[in-house]
């Protein structure tokens, strides 16, 4: 099938660009001497996880237990749930831990209390005898969302509790350099990346000096991992967005528009005589209402690619408004015209669709399911 | 099960409030002398469609063909796809029309050309012999998104083409009074509602005077239908949001916070010493990134209900930021605390979840599936 025959709206993945992105990040992190544990929240797709494993990924990162269930069922059995433990989800954690090594994330005494009082089963064959539960301590390396302040007494205290707990395996310290999303160019991304590494390496050293063994130091975000030049003291990285990239990554200088593997294919459904806009069939449930980076001009919900295969976007052409299924673009075009849209935030696009339409050039070569259970944090 | 035992995040529907909302709108429109054809895009849920039918709904409105497939399979066979025809979806339209009366929406010569050249099957038994395809002409009654300008020559010309087309059944003229979402109080909603009615009734009269028979005049939005006092010249209304309401409806004065049937139940997962915020497990894939109405202060992604069952929201307490699965609220609360959140826009909440958790008071009484095919406009 030719891409022009695809019903719209749909989520299109360019296989060549995807494979290049998967390979580039894997090679980068290998050269920097750390393990790649990619975050699947961006794609929620088993075929892409398999490509990442082929490229060298060791273990995966999930944002929801739904993603963990799907991956475990498909034989991906070394998983980190990189979200602060939801205390009321321990029964599900227990079930998943019966078939996979599920590594949890905590940053509070309440979460450690809950884990210590929960009875978790031993890990799969090959795990240490009597292993109950793998746990990372989340550290705030500058994002100030979650994670302990590495300069605080409580950070050391929680690390020591995890290390000393008989029924917990302390995997180490973990951070998400989410403050890199405030960066406006490669230099600012690099500064965030250096801070992320430095804070974590220093905290690991501090803990070691206090007798708290730190087996792993996990960092990661696509912006920081795209530019970082030194990961000394770090053991693994967890970028996710890099498989697709998106408009935000382009604006930050983490990639070019030709490096974006996920686009939304849309068509014009209404265009009135005299109007300066057209209505397209990609609305908030295709593109998401993510406004992108607040300093990018013009503010838009997506940019439109040139139709010449150059990988460049059209100047002065964007999605200016969204309702549930309607999108508004700032040009008047004939009904039936097809547009390929660069979304602001690819992580919020995939979950809206049932599948990715996979293309090689202009040819549709596959259809990859987006896992249902991974759609939301809930059930 | 008690509501406090529900795993979080989840989408909670208060059955009493839902039934009251369903009944109130049905009674309102019955008293105003028009047929109710509710929009299912807000709930995408067969159980709620059944409640609407019990309360008197005649036919349903969908925003996607996925919703139409799901409803048709469940025996809801009189459907209006209230979205400008996507020309490349005609093969699916044809399949759905084999089992249901699917009424389409057009506002362009291109769409009429496409329909006239497409071969559509006759409707189900009971339909007029040789009926090929039911079509509404979309009219712009003030929203300026899609729909023909009723004062233009092209509007009359398209109506006449639909009326005269041998293989099309001209159902009439249809509008969505979406400009009502710019209203800041009941008076402004009422002004939008009056304009919506007047524009449509006048255009119908004009067409009739020109010999174009107009069988139906369809209007509707929850804000306008919540306040309108006169629907003279209108035959049917298509509100959707009213089953749940949401923060936007409260701000506009279309309802009170006690009339909101859909809330997101969330729990605190991270709260650092000294921080003035907590992290909750309801992020963009639970609440959506819909910012709500731009004039509402404070800007937020959701407000938090009091936990006293009063149906009132807490003052000075809101969701201030969202990432994919993380939400940030502006209070420091113990990890494990549960919060019930009033979302800005309920239509964008349901599609993120697999099911609604249905409660009566504090008791969970049912779990209603949200239809998979209805998740997005795409496939």
The DSSP line for B361-373 is TTEEEEEEEPPST
Whole-number average pLDDT of chain B: 93
Which of B86, B138, B376 is facing A352, going by the closest CB pair? B376
Pairwise CA distance, residues A215 & B94, whole Å: 60
Q: How far is CA B190 from CA A46, B237, B239, in A?
A: 51, 15, 15
Query: Residue B283's pLDDT is what?
Result: 97
Closest chain A residue to B368, measured at CA = A379
CB nearest to A64's CB, from B274, B325, B379: B325
Q: Nearest-CA residue of chain A relative to B357?
A: A379
CA distance A355 to B50: 29
CB < 8 Å to A150, chain B: none
Question: Are A372 and B372 in contact (CB < 8 Å)?
Answer: yes
Number of residues assigned to chain A:
379
List the structure tokens of A140.
């705030």
Residue in chain B nearest A91 by alpha carbon: B7
Q: Which two tokens stand for residue B117?
A: 């050249």
Q: Do B377 and A283 touch (CB under 8 A)?
A: yes
| Whether the Cβ atoms of residue B329 and residue B319 lie closer than 8 Å to each other | yes
Name the strands in the sheet holding A35-36, side by side, starting at the edge strand that comes first in the sequence: A35-36, A236-237, A216-219, A169-174, A134-138, A101-106, A78-84, A60-62
For residue A350, give the chain B residue with the closest CA: B376
Minimal CA separation from B157 to chain A, in Å: 13
Segment A258-285 shows an average pLDDT of: 97
Taking an 8 Å cut-off on Cβ atoms, the answer to whether A273 and B152 are in contact is: yes
| pLDDT value for B257 | 96
Owner of token pair 């259809």: A367
Going from the C-alpha of A38 to that of each of A60, A67, B112, B216, the distances in angstroms are 5, 13, 48, 55
What is d(CA B211, CA B217) in angstroms, rounded to the nearest whole number? 16
Residue of A nearest to B275 (CA): A144
- Terminus-to-terminus CA distance in chain A, angstroms? 35
The answer to whether the CB atoms of B284 and A286 lie below 8 A apart is no
More confident residue, A126 or A273: A273
Binary contact (A326, B146; C-beta < 8 A): yes
Residues A217, A260 contacting (CB under 8 angstroms): no
Distance from CA of B237 to the nearest CA of A (A): 19
Nearest residue in chain A measured CA to CA from B112: A335
B233 secondary structure, DSSP code: T
Inter-chain touch B272–A110, beta carbons under 8 Å: no
Q: Tell me the pLDDT of chain B (379 aa) as tens digits.
A: 999 999 999 999 999 999 999 999 999 999 999 999 999 999 999 999 999 999 999 899 999 999 999 999 999 999 999 999 999 999 999 999 989 999 999 999 999 999 988 766 655 554 444 446 899 999 999 988 999 999 999 999 999 999 999 889 999 999 998 888 889 999 999 999 999 999 999 999 999 999 999 999 999 899 999 999 999 999 999 999 999 999 999 999 999 999 999 999 999 999 999 999 999 999 999 999 999 999 999 999 999 999 998 999 999 999 999 999 999 999 999 999 999 999 999 999 998 998 999 999 999 999 999 975 444 444 3
Choose, out of A270, A279, A338, the residue to mutate when testing the contact with B (most B CBs < 10 Å).
Answer: A270
Partners of B84 on chain A (C-beta within 8 Å) are 269-270, 279, 335
Mean pLDDT of the region A61-87: 96
Closest B-chain CA to A329: B145
Dihedral pair phi/psi, residue A329, rounded to 5°: -110, 155
Tell me whether residues A372 and B354 touch, CB distance under 8 A: yes
Question: Does the beta-carbon distance from A379 to B147 stay under 8 Å?
Answer: no
Q: Say if the Cβ atoms of B279 and A145 lie within 8 Å.
A: yes
Buried b / exposed e along A190-225 (16+ C-beta atoms within 10 A): bbbbbbbbebbbebbebbeeeebebebbbbbbbbbb
In sequence order, the 6+-apart residues with CB closer than 8 A to the CB of B352 are: A351, A375, A376, A378, B11, B285, B286, B288
Q: How far apart are CA B32 and CA B237, in angstroms?
A: 10
CB < 8 Å to B87, chain A: 267, 269, 335-336
Q: Return the residue in B325, B334, B357, B371 with the most chain A beta carbons within 10 A, the one to mutate for interface testing.
A: B325
Q: List chain B residues with CB under 8 Å of A114.
A: 336
Average pLDDT taken over every residue of chain A: 93
**Distance of alpha carbon B35 from alpha carbon B218, whole angstroms:** 9
Contact A87 B336 (CB under 8 A): yes
How many angstroms separate the CA atoms of A17 and A26, rounded? 14
| Model pLDDT, residue B306 | 96
Give B260's contacts (C-beta < 8 A, 6+ positions apart).
B17, B244, B245, B246, B247, B249, B250, B342, B346
| Strand A134-138 versus strand A169-174 pairing type | parallel
Count of CB pairs separated by less than 8 Å, A with B: 226
Confidence of residue A371 (pLDDT cuts 50, 70, 90): confident
Angle formed by the axes of helices A15-31 and A46-54, nearest 10°: 40
The residue of chain A nearest to residue B329, with distances taken between CA atoms, is A145
- CB-based contacts of A297: which residues, under 8 Å, 6+ apart? none
pLDDT at A119: 60
Contact B178 A323 (CB under 8 A): yes
pTM: 0.95
pLDDT tens digits, residue range A97-146?
A: 989 999 999 999 999 999 988 766 655 554 444 446 899 999 999 988 99
**Would you call A269 and B86 a contact, using CB atoms and an 8 Å cutoff?**
yes
Q: Beta strand pairing status for B302-305 and B313-322?
A: antiparallel
**pLDDT at residue B124, as a whole number:** 56
Contact call for B89 and A352, based on CB within 8 A:
no
Query: By CA distance, what is A346's nearest residue in B?
Result: B324
Spell out which residues of chain B touch residue A7, defining contact as CB-CB under 8 Å: 86, 88-89, 92, 378-379
Could you tell me which residues are beta bridge partners of residue B39? B61
The strand pairing partners of A61, in sequence order, are A39, A80
Q: How close does chain A come to B275, measured CA to CA in Å?
A: 9
> Is the Cβ pair A108, B283 closer than 8 Å?
no
Contact of B206 with B156, CB cutoff 8 Å: yes
Q: Which residues of A touch B152 (CB under 8 A)?
A: 273
Contact flag B378-A140 (C-beta cutoff 8 Å): no
A290: which chain B residues are within 8 Å (Cβ-Cβ)? 284, 289
Q: How far is B59 from chain A (nearest CA, A)?
A: 21
Length of chain B: 379
**Residue in B146, B149, B267 closest to A86 by CB:** B267
Report d(CA B379, CA A10) in Å as an integer. Answer: 6
- Chain A residues in contact with B285 (beta carbon < 8 A): 348, 351, 375-377
- Taking CA–CA distances from A145, the nearest residue in chain B reads B279
| Shortest alpha-carbon distance between residue B272 and chain A (Å) | 7
If 0-12 CB within 10 Å is exposed, 13-18 middle and 19+ buried, where does residue B213 land? exposed
């Amino acid at each position: 099938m030719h891409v022009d025959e695809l019903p719209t709206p749909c989520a299109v993945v360019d296989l060549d660009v995807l494979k290049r992105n998967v390979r580039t990040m894997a090679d980068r992190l290998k050269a920097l001497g750390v393990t790649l544990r990619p975050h699947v929240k961006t794609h929620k797709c088993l075929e892409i996880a398999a490509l990442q494993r082929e490229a060298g990924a060791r273990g995966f990162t999930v944002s929801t237990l739904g993603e963990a269930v799907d991956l475990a069922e498909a034989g991906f059995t070394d998983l980190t749930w990189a979200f602060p433990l939801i205390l009321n989800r321990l029964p599900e954690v227990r079930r998943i831990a019966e078939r996979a090594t599920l590594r949890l994330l905590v940053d509070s005494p309440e979460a450690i209390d809950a884990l210590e009082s929960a009875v978790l089963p031993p890990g799969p064959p090959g795990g240490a005898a009597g292993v109950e539960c793998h746990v990372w301590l989340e550290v705030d390396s500058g994002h100030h969302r979650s994670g302990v302040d590495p300069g605080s007494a409580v950070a050391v205290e929680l690390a020591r509790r995890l290390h000393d707990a008989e029924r917990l395996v302390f995997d180490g310290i973990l951070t998400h350099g989410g403050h890199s999303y405030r960066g406006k160019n490669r230099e600012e991304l690099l500064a965030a990346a250096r801070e992320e590494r430095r804070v974590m390496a220093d905290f690991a050293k501090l803990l070691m000096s206090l007798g708290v063994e730190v087996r792993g130091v996990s960092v990661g975000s696509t912006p920081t991992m795209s530019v970082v030049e030194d990961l000394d003291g770090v053991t693994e990285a967890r970028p996710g967005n890099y498989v697709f990239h998106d408009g935000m990554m382009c604006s930050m200088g983490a990639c070019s528009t030709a490096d974006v593997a996920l686009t939304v294919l849309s068509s014009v459904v209404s265009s009135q005589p005299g109007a300066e806009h057209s209505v397209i069939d990609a609305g908030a449930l295709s593109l998401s209402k993510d406004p992108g980076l607040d300093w990018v001009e013009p503010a838009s919900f997506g940019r439109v690619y040139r139709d010449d295969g150059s990988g460049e976007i059209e100047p002065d052409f964007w999605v200016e408004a969204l309702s549930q299924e309607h999108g508004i673009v700032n040009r008047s075009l004939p009904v039936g015209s097809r547009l390929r849209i660069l979304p602001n935030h690819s992580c919020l696009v995939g979950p809206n669709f049932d599948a990715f339409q996979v293309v090689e050039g202009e040819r549709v070569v596959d259809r990859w399911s987006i896992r249902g259970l991974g759609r939301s944090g809930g059930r």
